[in-house]
Amino acid sequence: MILSSRPMKSEDRPPLGSITLLALGVNGIVGVGIFVAPPIVARAFPGVLGALVYLAIAVACLPIALTYARLARAYPRDGGPALYAERAYGRRVSFAIGSMVWVSAIFSTAAVTRGLAEQLAGGRWAVAVAIAISLALAVVNLRGLRASAWGWTLLTVAKLAPMIALVALGVLATSRPHAPAASTGPRGAALLAVLFALQGFEIVPLPAGQARDPERSVPRATVGALLVAGGLYAAVHLACDRALPALSSSTSPLPEAAVILGGQGLSRAIAFGVVASMAGIVVGMHAMTPRYLAAFTLGDRPTPGTPTRAIAASAVLVSLLCAVSSLPELLDLSSIAVLAQYATTALSLLSLSRRPGAGIAPREAWPAPLSLVVVAVLLAHASARELAISAAVAAVSIALAYALARSPSRAP
């Protein structure tokens, strides 16, 4: 390796620091989920118990976040789960695993895109708007990460500020006693809704090769994003429950709670935060999802930005899912798909911990078995139809990824 003696210019430094990585993780988590989950959770877990569900799922996901953190420390390069699977199982086996990882990102991207479209348009125009968003972002997401990092950091602040204000007013407000509600909703749907709301921390290791001091900054941001979001969600749910006696039947829980706790001013701020939150995560997901595909179809070739074929394939599948699925169904499908990603990553950690020279001691793999238990418990709440749809889309995606990997590469 030849080392240059010239001083590093600011444009030569990796674009992602600790703050932008944490913001990437929080932005990846805080999106559509928290704005639609409270009524679903309240129907199955009334009162304060609903807030505890967010904390319980966050704690349950902690071993998963620690699994990603340990692997990111061992392999501080772009690629995330696809890279870990390749190191653990070799190229051929990791191809199917990488495809599953890409599928989980596709489901998540479709869910947040459809959610933003329904927020902006609603009704019969939601599908058209979702497809338009997907195609428009497919055109612009070849830009570098430096500008994107500033964008998702600012949007993260914009989305969190009104939520924190809502939480503060909820704490200070006089309690509005109301009769405890009975549990009427399916608990499985509530758990999957909370899981969807908390997923997104796994995106942090994906651009690790463009992070400063990735061995430390990426693991800290991965775990930190999950803990920050879990605590915030529990507090937001408590504020909504305190303000809305009929939270389980609310259609816009955060804006409705804001009107009661802080008046129209806070309600408008929350409404802006809803759009900023959804827009931020949609931009981030559309920028990152093609990188999952590129990670295992392009190998180690250096490429300037995200390859064109990966962008096109991701945009087509996202648009298709937005057209044929409703938002609630996409939320469940996204949760199921990301659970498959969590399982494969946990298995990668177990495999690498048993391989001499991999840099991971067997004792450091302790989060992996716990992660697999969490995945199994949560998957037990999925319906047979949802599992079948997930398997079908996974099969199509593996075939598409295989075709892309075999076709001649072109510069983006």
* Residue-level length of the chain: 412
CA dihedral sign of residues 46, 49, 54, 58: negative
Can you give the pLDDT at residue 400?
Answer: 63
| Those residues with Cβ within 8 angstroms of residue 39's Cβ, 6 or more apart along the chain or in another chain | 247, 248, 249, 250, 251, 253
| Those residues with Cβ within 8 angstroms of residue 164's Cβ, 6 or more apart along the chain or in another chain | 232
CA–CA gap between residue 181 and residue 46 (Å, rounded): 6
Residue 275 in any domain: the answer is yes
Residue 178 in any domain: the answer is no
Q: Tell me what the mean pLDDT of segment 91-105 comes to.
A: 75
Can you give the pLDDT at residue 388?
Answer: 79
Amino acid at 76: P
| Those residues with Cβ within 8 angstroms of residue 262's Cβ, 6 or more apart along the chain or in another chain | 165, 166, 169
Q: At 388, list the tokens.
A: 């079948």
Can you give the pLDDT at residue 412?
Answer: 36
CA–CA gap between residue 230 and residue 198 (Å, rounded): 7
Indicate if the pLDDT at residue 314 is higher than 70.
Answer: yes
**Total domains, the chain:** 1
CA dihedral sign of residues 333, 316, 225, 275: negative
Q: Tell me what the mean pLDDT of segment 45-67 comes to.
A: 92
Residue 376 in any domain: the answer is yes
The CA–CA distances, whole Å, from 208 to 218, 228, 378 equal 7, 20, 28
Rounded to 5 degrees, φ, ψ at 154 are -65, -40
Residue 314 in any domain: the answer is yes
Quote the mean pLDDT of the chain: 79
Confirm if 123 and 314 have CB atoms less than 8 A apart: no
> Residue 369's CB: how many other CB atoms inside 10 A?
13
CATH number at residue 294: 1.20.1740.10
Q: Tell me what the mean pLDDT of segment 43-58 comes to.
A: 90
Bridge partner list, 78: 207
Bridge partner list, 207: 78
CA–CA gap between residue 277 and residue 154 (Å, rounded): 11
Confirm if 197 and 278 have CB atoms less than 8 A apart: no
Confirm if 345 and 367 have CB atoms less than 8 A apart: no
Can you give the pLDDT at residue 182?
Answer: 57
Rounded to 5 degrees, φ, ψ at 16 are -110, 115
Confirm if 241 and 48 have CB atoms less than 8 A apart: yes
What is the full DSSP assignment across 187-202? Answer: HHHHHHHHHHHHTTGG
pLDDT tier, 2 (very low <50, low <70, confident <90, very high otherwise): very low
pLDDT tier, 382 (very low <50, low <70, confident <90, very high otherwise): confident
Residue 411 in any domain: the answer is no
Can you give the pLDDT at residue 63?
Answer: 94
pLDDT tier, 6 (very low <50, low <70, confident <90, very high otherwise): very low
Confirm if 17 and 150 have CB atoms less than 8 A apart: no
Q: Which of 62-71, 292-301, 332-341 has the highest mean pLDDT?
A: 62-71
Can you give the pLDDT at residue 402?
Answer: 66
pLDDT tier, 219 (very low <50, low <70, confident <90, very high otherwise): very high
Confirm if 42 and 248 have CB atoms less than 8 A apart: yes
Confirm if 258 and 267 have CB atoms less than 8 A apart: yes
Angle at 195 between CA 21 and CA 190, to 5 degrees: 150
Q: At 369, list the tokens.
A: 């078995």
Which of 129-133, 178-182, 248-252, 280-284 has the weakest average pLDDT?
A: 178-182
Long-range contacts for 402-409 (Cβ within 8 Å, ≥24 apart)? 402/95, 402/99, 404/293, 404/297, 404/309, 404/310, 404/313, 405/95, 405/296, 405/297, 407/309, 409/298, 409/301, 409/307, 409/309
pLDDT tier, 62 (very low <50, low <70, confident <90, very high otherwise): very high
pLDDT tier, 119 (very low <50, low <70, confident <90, very high otherwise): confident
Residue 179 in any domain: the answer is no
Print the domain residue range for 71: 16-171+187-356+363-406
DSSP conformational letter for 213: S
> Residue 190's CB: how many other CB atoms inside 10 A?
23
Indicate if the pLDDT at residue 297 is higher than 60.
Answer: yes
Residue 6 in any domain: the answer is no
Indicate if the pLDDT at residue 352 is higher than 70.
Answer: yes
Indicate if the pLDDT at residue 145 is higher than 60.
Answer: no
Say which residue, 397 or 163, is predicted with more confidence.
163
Residue 342 in any domain: the answer is yes
Confirm if 360 and 84 have CB atoms less than 8 A apart: no
Q: At 85, list the tokens.
A: 């699977």
Q: Tell me what the mean pLDDT of segment 240-268 comes to.
A: 84
Confirm if 203 and 101 have CB atoms less than 8 A apart: no
| Those residues with Cβ within 8 angstroms of residue 383's Cβ, 6 or more apart along the chain or in another chain | 332
State the Cα torsion 397-403-409-412 to the nearest 10°: -30
Bridge partner list, 211: 16
Say what the pTM is. Answer: 0.77
Can you give the pLDDT at residue 411?
Answer: 37
| Helix/strand/coil for 207 | strand
Confirm if 203 and 284 have CB atoms less than 8 A apart: yes
